[in-house]
């Protein structure tokens, strides 16, 4: 009987938990690689229903207020790209979200958890100059506010 190379030996450990080859392998997404969801309202509802964030309504409203004035300016336009001033303002919004998340992380509250699990900063990066994506992002943020309140968010 000839010896098999070590990596081809048939033993108990090698036979355990082999992947099912009938299913395609799942692609692992790197952080920041996921695209903005088309079903953002359903995703917002699911996140708020499952996670029950301990963030207050006023803290979420503060995040929404950062974006809503830009939304009002862009909503009346018909171009496909956002204005340069809006693009610059969105970078400031992203910085403000990072500040709020970092500030509350030190206090051990959940603004950080809310911003990271809802991927707000990742989605803000993806907007670039796409006006429709920005409008959808604002609706996503409004959905988060609404479902957080609906599922008994903190006052």
Is 96 a domain residue?
yes
On the question of pLDDT at 110 being above 90, the answer is no
Domain containing 84 equals 54-155
Q: Is the pLDDT of residue 73 over 80?
A: yes
Question: DSSP letter at 81?
Answer: B
Is there a domain that residue 39 lies in? no
CB 74 within 8 A of CB 64: no
pTM over 0.85: no
pLDDT of residue 29: 34
The answer to whether position 132 is within a domain reads yes
Q: What is the pLDDT of residues 34-65, one digit of tens each?
A: 688 889 999 999 998 888 888 888 888 888 99
The answer to whether residue 13 sits within a structural domain is no
30 found inside a domain: no
Is 146 domain-assigned? yes
14-28: pLDDT as tens digits:
554 444 444 333 333
Q: Percentage of residues in the chain with pLDDT exceeding 70?
A: 74
- Residue 36: inside a domain: no
pLDDT for residue 118? 92
In a domain, 5, yes or no: no
Q: What are the helix (H) ranges across the chain?
A: 12-15, 40-51, 57-75, 84-107, 111-117, 120-127, 131-150
* Number of structural domains the chain divides into: 1
């Amino acid at each position: 009987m000839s010896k098999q190379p070590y990596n081809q030996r048939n033993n108990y450990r090698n036979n355990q938990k082999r992947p099912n080859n009938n299913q395609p392998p799942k692609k692992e997404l790197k952080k920041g690689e996921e695209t903005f969801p088309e079903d953002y309202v359903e995703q917002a509802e699911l996140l708020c229903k499952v996670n029950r964030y301990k963030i207050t309504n006023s803290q979420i409203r503060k995040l929404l207020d950062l974006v809503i004035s830009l939304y009002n300016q862009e909503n009346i336009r018909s171009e496909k790209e956002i204005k340069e001033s809006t693009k610059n303002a969105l970078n400031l919004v992203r910085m403000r979200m990072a500040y709020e998340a970092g500030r509350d992380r030190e206090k051990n509250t959940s603004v950080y958890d809310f911003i990271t699990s809802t991927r707000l900063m990742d989605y803000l990066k993806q907007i670039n100059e796409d006006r429709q994506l920005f409008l959808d992002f604002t609706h996503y943020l409004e959905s988060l506010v609404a479902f957080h309140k609906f599922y008994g968010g903190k006052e």
